Structure 1
């Protein structure tokens, strides 16, 4: 994991993360100030300023918080490998998105755009992609062993699926409205899963 388990967070830090979420839904990333986050924080604002001396420092922690929630929400092994893969697609790529979650997803994307210029941000995204790749590779390996998937080059297939999922998520945030369906994009990924599924 790249940071704290979201279920094990100190309540004060969780409150700060929730205040950040609320401020992002109201103001977006570009116009966000640390004062706007403080305005959403019900506890002592001096506590927020004690922990974070800048918006960027706070948002980097928030990025870690969101990424840990994402990792915690990955499907478990109670389904068949193919069903796990399909659930993963639905988790990462909801067909439509409500406005508030969309604004936070967009803020995370805007942070990602900063990654080439921010080593800490880049390292967090690399870590979460590594965990996603490990998860996908495990699902594929179990599917091949069970005869559910065709024999595969696991490394190549894992890289392809990570790139498809991350790239499609970027397309969802840059060229689709939140309430606009991305079913056609998801159908293309499902068609690929069909191709690797054993007859």
Structure 2
């Protein structure tokens, strides 16, 4: 299954802008981020950046797609058992602790999500994020049922449930946990659910 089929390819220049955005976010966070601070991290012509983007929220919508593209590219594609792939996905989305830099970037993405009800472009991008992650979860579940690793669950319903669990857990981490504070109990709750639907845990 091609998880990136609906994601556009970024040009080398666009990728450089996205990397500059990552650096600026990791230094300044969402609240103090400006186009100028992104431009300060951009090694090429700053005029190119200002030509494409008028403000940080417009740029961050593209950055969200870029982050999703990069994230999906790092995931295993059928090289592991479906259950192992699911657990790998959870590890990637919910590491037990976070360093300051990725925490700041994740927090910025969360703050951008909060703007989605008031920004149609942002809303559409988060719909794309949710769609891609749900497709990925569904694919893992379908293969897991076929392989006899998971019970005969409904992949559509189960992928929706897992997506909500993962999204909600990421939001809880960013709002009530410190970056270096372990979220072991939150991850354990998700793992318990995976155990329930796994054939070898019965």
TM-score w.r.t. the length of structure 1 is 0.93
Q: In structure 1, how many angstroms separate the alpha carbons of the residues matched to 2:8 and 2:145?
A: 33
Residue of structure 2 equivalent to 1:88:
89
1:132-188 residue CA offsets vs partner (Å, 9 max, x unmatched) = 111111111111111111111222211111111111111111111111111111111
1:129 shift after superposition? 0.9
The 5 A counterparts of 1:102-117 are 102-117=103-118
Residue of structure 1 equivalent to 2:8:
4
1:81-120 residue CA offsets vs partner (Å, 9 max, x unmatched) = 1111111110110111111111001000100000011111
Residue of structure 1 equivalent to 2:151:
150
Residue of structure 1 equivalent to 2:68:
67
Q: In structure 2, how many angstroms separate the alpha carbons of the residues matched to 1:41 and 1:51?
A: 13
Q: Is the 8 A contact 2:17 2:42 kept in 1?
A: yes
Gaps of 5+ in 1: none
Q: Is the 8 A contact 2:65 2:129 kept in 1?
A: no
Aligned length: 196
Q: In structure 1, how many angstroms separate the alpha carbons of the residues matched to 2:51 and 2:86?
A: 42
Q: In structure 2, how many angstroms separate the alpha carbons of the residues matched to 1:73 and 1:109?
A: 21
RMSD of equivalent CA atoms: 1.3
1:34 shift after superposition? 0.9
Gaps of 5+ in 2: none
Q: In structure 2, how many angstroms separate the alpha carbons of the residues matched to 1:97 and 1:178?
A: 5
Q: In structure 2, how many angstroms separate the alpha carbons of the residues matched to 1:75 and 1:108?
A: 24
Q: Is the 8 A contact 2:98 2:180 kept in 1?
A: yes
Residue of structure 2 equivalent to 1:125:
126
Q: Is the 8 A contact 2:97 2:183 kept in 1?
A: yes
Residue of structure 1 equivalent to 2:101:
100
Residue of structure 1 equivalent to 2:17:
16
Residue of structure 2 equivalent to 1:196:
197
Helix, strand or coil at the partner of 2:162 = helix
Residue of structure 2 equivalent to 1:179:
180
TM-score w.r.t. the length of structure 2 is 0.92
